Chain A
Amino acid sequence: MKNLVNLLDEEVVNLVREENVEYFAELISRYQDKLLRYSGNILNDDQKAQDAVQESFIKAFINLNSFNVNKKFSSWIYRIVHNETMNLISKYKKQIALDENVDIENGINIEEEMIKKEMIEHTCSCLRQLPNIYAEPLALYYLEDKKYEEISFILRLPIGTIGTRINRAKILMKKICQKIK
């Protein structure tokens, strides 16, 4: 097995196609956490997000030969996860189940941890209340550090629309967060 750590995603894709399918595991490990977070933010259900991400990796592998290596693999895999997440939403008609199982670790900084967790929960609950058309670009821009062009590719929307939606999402998010407080 080659050392894949220093290789670009697109180079790993080439190796998977031409040399060894086992290298696909490297791509999974590079992206699964980010994709689970992205899908989880939209679905609001970790188990479903896991299903979506797993199914997305399977679809990505099946269609790996259709991927253009001159483009970014990250945008492509996010696009697949986005589609899969949307499919799950329409399948389950967006059953919102707030997961309140907060697993607090034992330690001295329990209070600090709790404040941090509360803040994260608070931000996530604000995000969850946003309609999907605003929550998705906002999550991709701020949580996943994606550029407008990449978000445009993932959501299949013009760049101008992405900018407008992010701006509106920020205004909405502010209103929702203030209301919740």
Chain B
Amino acid sequence: MSKNKINITEEVMLKINKGVVKMKPKWMFVVGTIAMILGLVGAYILSSFLVSIISFSLRNHGPMREYRLQELLASFPFWAVGLAIVGLVLGIILLRKFEFSYKKNFWFIILAFIAAIIISGWLADYFGIEKIWSKQGKMHRLYQQYGGNRNKVLPWKSKGGYVIEREIGRMRKNGYNGY
């Protein structure tokens, strides 16, 4: 054992003295901790926002939605589900790095994290926070796209629809009555 003792001390100290092994500066750990906290908060907000989009998309199909399953599936934001899962996984990975995580049952922490995301996403939708988002810029487009019939651009009012309408008008002008 004493032989090992000399070897380990010597080898480690040799690497330190040669500069092969260097101590990382303190600021790196401070930046790392801040990035970890921001990452966790970011993953939480992103996942909550995506849950609110999913909830909004489901809610907007109204009372007859069982008859419009295909429409629901066609406009359902599956990408949001995928991204929400990615956000969740990232959040869980980051949670593991915090010191408090091992003191409690980690499964309990994961479940609490998932529940918090779902509840806050649903609350955002329930209290109409998405209405504020849905009126602004890129968010407006997102909510319009996944908001079901209420926000959908009607086909006869679409760009293509106007062209058809114009053509029918021109044909009627020329005496065409449909027969």
Q: Report which A residues bind B (CB closer than 8 A).
A: 17, 21-22, 24-25, 28-29, 32-33, 36, 46, 50, 53-54, 57-58, 61-66, 152-153, 156-159
Contacts and interface: CB of A to CB of B under 8 A. Distances in A.
Contact of B21 (A36, A46, A62, A65): A62
A158 B26 contact: no
Interface stretch (B51-59, B100-108, B155-163): B100-108
A54 B24 contact: no
27 contacts: A17-B23, A21-B16, A21-B17, A21-B23, A25-B13, A28-B13, A29-B5, A32-B8, A32-B9, A33-B5, A50-B7, A50-B8, A54-B11, A54-B12, A57-B12, A61-B12, A61-B21, A62-B24, A65-B23, A65-B24, A65-B26, A65-B29, A66-B24, A152-B102, A156-B101, A158-B103, A159-B103
Contacts, number: 68
Taking residues whose C-beta sits less than 8 angstroms from the other chain, chain B's interface range is 20 to 34
Interface of B: 1, 4-5, 7-9, 11-13, 15-17, 21-26, 28-29, 101-105
Given A66-B29, A158-B104, A58 B5 contact: no
The prevalent SS among residues of B at the interface is helix
A166 to B, nearest CB: 17
Best-buried of B4, B8, B28, B105 by chain A (most CB within 10 Å): B8
Given A62-B21, A62-B23, A24 B13 contact: yes
A29 B22 CA distance: 20
Given A24-B13, A50-B7, A65-B24, 6 more contacts: A28-B8, A32-B4, A57-B12, A61-B12, A62-B22, A156-B102
A65 B25 contact: yes
Contacts of B104: 158
Contacts of A159: 103
A13 to B, nearest CB: 11
Contacts of B102: 152-153, 156-158
B18 to A, nearest CB: 12
A156 B28 CA distance: 24
A36 B22 CA distance: 24
A25 B9 contact: yes
Closest 7 CB pairs of A and B: A156-B102, A66-B29, A65-B26, A28-B9, A57-B12, A54-B8, A32-B8
A159 B104 CA distance: 9
A58 B21 contact: yes
Contact of B9 (A29, A36, A61, A63): A29
The prevalent SS among residues of A at the interface is helix
Contact of A24 (B16, B24, B26, B105): B16
A52 B129 CA distance: 53
Nearest to B15: A58
Best-buried of B101, B102, B104, B105 by chain A (most CB within 10 Å): B102
Contacts of A36: 1, 4
A14 to B, nearest CB: 13
Given A58-B15, A65-B24, A33 B9 contact: no
Contacts of B105: 158
A164 B124 CA distance: 42
Contacts of B29: 63, 65-66
Nearest to B108: A158
A152 B101 CA distance: 11
